[in-house]
Amino acid sequence: MPITPATATHSSSNGTVEAILLELVDEDGNTIGTAEKLAAHQAPGQLHRAFSVFLFDERGRMLLQQRALGKYHSPGVWSNTCCGHPYPGEAPFAAAARRTYEELGVSPSLLAEAGTVRYNHPDPDSGLVEQEYNHLFVGMVQSPLRPDPGEVEATAFVSADELAERHAKETFSSWFMTVLDAARPAVRELTGPSAGW
């Protein structure tokens, strides 16, 4: 997938286009520097800070998103509610809330920390590598979604059984099961035993 200015950069408040910087971290999650977003994902990958959000409705169904087809990394695959990278110096919680609103047009009615997970997932299609120290968040969504079509191709609320069926048939992000498994204790606490997570 070609890299375009829209996918590798963002517009600043004064209208200029700037490269997106990520926070590089050590194995304990301590900040050790910054790197441009694309460079951090090129093989073999540089360990950087990321976040993953799992939101649920009042019935205990998980909100999935299908990543927009125009994304340069993992386009068109299904994944968790929202994922991304804090800007350097930005708290992961603030970044998670910000990106959930930017991508889905909704603010979680509840958002709680659910631990961290470190992983290394190469993407065979793009050749990019997810070398991440990922902060996990779980929460509730109670407002209508207003997805940004530049970020999100489709959304779906699924039960645990429906997710298993969909995961067997559809293509999911390389990191999805890693982050879901790491978040499961918090997911179960949030949704209760009857939801089956």
Catalytic amino acids? 83, 132
Residue positions counted in the chain: 197
- CA 71, 46, 174, 56 dihedral sign is negative
Written as one string, the DSSP assignment of 71-140 is -SSSTT-EE-SEEE-PPTT--HHHHHHHHHHHHHS---SEEEEEEEEEEEEE-TTT-BEEEEEEEEEEEE
Residue type, 84: G
Q: Does an H or E element contain 29, and which? A: none
Q: Is the peptide bond before 5 cis (omega within 30 degrees of 0)?
A: no
Torsion of CA 116, 74, 10, 35, to 10 degrees: 50
